[in-house]
Amino acid sequence: MLLSVKKLEKRFGKRTVLKGVDFSVDQGEVVVIIGPSGSGKTTLLRNLNFLENADAGTMNFKDRQIDLAHPKKDDVHFVRRHSAMVFQNYNLFKNKTAQENIAEGLIYGQGMDKRQALTIASDELKSLGLAAQANHYPSQLSGGQQQRIGIARATVLKPDVILFDEPTSALDPELVGTVLDDMRRLAQAGQTMVVVTHQMSFAKNVASRIVFFDDGQIVESGSPDQVFNHPREERTRQFLGALAENY
Amino acid sequence: MFDLNFAKEAFPQIVLAVPLTLLIAFIATLIGLVLAIGVVIAREKQVPVLAQFLATLVSFIRGTPILVQLYVVYYGLPQLLTSLQAAGWHVDPNGLPAIVIAFSAYGLNAMANLSESIRSAYHAVDPGQYEAAISVGMKPATAMVQIVVPQLIANLIPNFTNIFLDLIKDTALVYNIGLVEVMGKANIISSEGFKYLETYTDALIIYIVVCWVFAFVLRQFERHYRYAQVSH
Ligand SMILES: Nc1ncnc2c1ncn2[C@@H]1O[C@H](COP(=O)(O)OP(=O)(O)OP(=O)(O)O)[C@@H](O)[C@H]1O
Ligand SMILES: [Mg+2]
């Protein structure tokens, strides 16, 4: 097991948003998390990367065991160094060019030599067909380009796991495809991924496992075929039924 | 009639007072900047008691005329030093130079205005970028230095320019505590020659030129910073 959390709890004020979540990811898995708006999917991902402080729970990541409510600084840094996150709103560094955005984590997170990091970033841009945008700032890029760079910024770090939070939901429909293609390629290359998304075709075709999340808990988890075609839980059936009506 | 010759003769004498005006504005900005950074950190980290105290102090300073602040420091600082001396500190309340009073009063004023501007410049950098920076493995301090602060500075420059120019103009009040800067010099020359409009016109021109020069310099600086990150 690469990453697992047990009995993860998170409250915002009086409201319990994560109600004792047990969640795990194996090396090489692509786990897709689906579930209704406000159910806590984003909060779950943010807790995996310590962007939120959990109220209770434990994490096992690689060889480390971490008390989520009282994580050591060193453990937090360790997890962040070996994982990466792709955000719904891209969150590119606005004061850095596309190339610098990709290199930044290598230089300041991993201590790589600047020239080497910029070369890696430039190669990455070439392979994405974005070489012409290397010196563009985020404000000069389309949403789709920004998100592809956001993904490249994560992948060059060669993280053990990449966490995606609705990477295509801020995009115009015609730009969604390019981003999903990048993600599909990553999955085929064996990258371990956790993806929160409403893109059901991606979930069906790319996921190795689907997790249905509702009301701060994992309701059920299984292969795409099992969850989509033979859901065990009534709540899953309702959610999928509502989706089918809307799309 | 406007005595052009008098104005011409007075001009170089008044110009000689420009360095004092600039000195006060510069030192006050420097003091203000250092204090403001401390204030912003304390308030953003919500240090108990201190944060509330500083918030009150800042709104107090921003809500009162600088002339009143100047007088409060002028009369208050020596008394403060006297009580410190009584408490066993090695300070001398007597013969406090007026320039120190000016530095203190204008420095506090700059602190209040700068701290508010720095706070809003900081809030204008969306927190998602900081989160992205730490999620690619940067330490929090590195994320601040590499990502947040450069954008904060770019956001800050326009307000900083205004505050600095206001400070240059506000130093005109220090003649009230016996310092002879541009305005003080104009006052003296006027009353000696009984020609008022001439000298104050000189002062006006000097303030305009000085402010224009600094506005220009700071705009270049702003442009340099902006160019590095916003579409053009
Ligand atoms: N910082 C916060 N402070 C207070 N409440 C929060 C905060 N972040 C999230 N919440 C609440 O926690 C709940 C779960 O939010 P979360 O963003 O994790 O849901 P989600 O499943 O990602 O929803 P969506 O599909 O709309 O993105 C929501 O009710 C939200 O209002
Ligand atoms: Mg969400």
Q: What 3 state SS string does chain A have?
A: CCEEEEEEEEEECCEEEEEEEEEEECCCCEEEEECCCCCCHHHHHHHHCCCCCCCEEEEEECCEEEECCCCCHHHHHHHHHCEEEECCCCCCCCCCCHHHHHHHHHHHHCCCCHHHHHHHHHHHHHHCCCHHHCCCCHHHCCHHHHHHHHHHHHHCCCCCEEEEECCCCCCCHHHHHHHHHHHHHHHHCCCCEEEECCCHHHHHHHCCEEEEEECCEEEEEECHHHHHHCCCCHHHHHHHHHHHHHC
Task: With beta carbons under 8 A apart, name residues in chain A contacting B231.
Answer: 137, 139-140
What number of C-beta contacts closer than 8 Å exist between A and B? Answer: 77
Q: Which residues contact A231 (CB under 8 A, 6 or more apart)?
A: A212, A220, A237, A240
Local confidence band at B92 (pLDDT 50, 70, 90 cut-offs): confident
User: What's residue A247's pLDDT?
Assistant: 61
User: What's residue A242's pLDDT?
Assistant: 87
Please tell me if residue B132 touches chain A, with a CB cutoff of 8 Å. yes
Question: Tens digits of per-residue pLDDT, A31-90?
Answer: 999 999 999 999 999 999 999 999 999 999 999 999 999 999 999 999 999 999 999 999
Q: Which of A29-33, A200-204, B88-92, B122-126 has the lowest mean pLDDT?
A: B88-92
Chain A residue at shortest CA distance from B230? A139
Are A109 and B136 in contact by the 8 Å Cβ rule? The answer is yes
| Ligand that comes closest to the CA of residue A41 | 1
Is it the case that residue B228 has pLDDT exceeding 70?
no
Q: Is B137 close to A137, i.e. CB distance below 8 A?
A: no
Residues 69-88 of B with CB under 8 A from A: none
Q: Which of A18-27, A115-124, B183-192 has the lowest mean pLDDT?
A: B183-192
* For testing contact with chain A, the best of B130, B136, B139 (most A CBs within 10 A): B136
Q: Is B229 close to A95, i.e. CB distance below 8 A?
A: yes
To the nearest 10°, report the CA torsion of B162, B168, B171, B173: -70
Please tell me if residue A114 touches chain B, with a CB cutoff of 8 Å. no
Query: What does the DSSP assignment read for chain B?
Result: ---HHHHHHHHHHHHTTHHHHHHHHHHHHHHHHHHHHHHHHHHHTT-TTHHHHHHHHHHHHHTS-HHHHHHHHHHHHHHHHHHHHHTT-----TT--HHHHHHHHHHHHHHHHHHHHHHHHHHTS-HHHHHHHHHTT--HHHHIIIIIHHHHHHHHHHHHHHHHHHHHHHGGGGGGGT--SHHHHHHHHHHHHT-HHHHHHHHHHHHHHHHHHHHHHHHHHHHHHHHTTS--
Nearest ligand 1 atom to the CA of A39 is: 21
d(CA B125, CA B122): 6
Is it the case that residue B59 has pLDDT exceeding 70?
yes
Which candidate, A192, A186, A190, A148, places its Cα nearest to that of A167?
A: A148
d(CA A177, CA A174): 7
Please tell me if residue A211 touches chain B, with a CB cutoff of 8 Å. no
B104: amino acid identity, one letter: S
Is it the case that residue A179 has pLDDT exceeding 90?
yes
Chain B residue at shortest CA distance from A75? B137
Which candidate, A54, A154, A68, A143, places its Cα nearest to that of A105?
A: A154
Which candidate, B1, B58, B3, places its Cα nearest to that of B189?
A: B3
| Ligand that comes closest to the CA of residue A12 | 1
Q: For the domain A26-94+160-246, what is the CATH superfamily, name and number?
A: P-loop containing nucleotide triphosphate hydrolases (3.40.50.300)
Shortest CB distance from B129 goes to which of A51, A93, A139? A93
d(CA A178, CA A141): 14
User: What's residue B230's pLDDT?
Assistant: 55
Task: With beta carbons under 8 A apart, name residues in chain B contacting A84.
Answer: 135-136
Are A42 and A194 in contact by the 8 Å Cβ rule? The answer is no
Q: Is A109 close to B131, i.e. CB distance below 8 A?
A: no
Mean pLDDT of chain B: 92
d(CA A77, CA A64): 12
Chain B residue at shortest CA distance from A105? B136
d(CA B165, CA B214): 8
Please tell me if residue A85 touches chain B, with a CB cutoff of 8 Å. yes
Residue nearest to atom 5 of ligand 1 (CA): A12
User: What's residue B227's pLDDT?
Assistant: 67
Q: What are phi and psi of B156, to 5 degrees?
A: -80, -30
> Considering the entire predicted model, what is its pTM?
0.88
Alpha-carbon radius of gyration of chain A: 18
Is it the case that residue B150 has pLDDT exceeding 50?
yes
User: What's residue B231's pLDDT?
Assistant: 42
Percent of chain B with pLDDT over 90: 81
Chain B residue at shortest CA distance from A96? B229
A211 lines ligand 1 (CB under 6 A): no
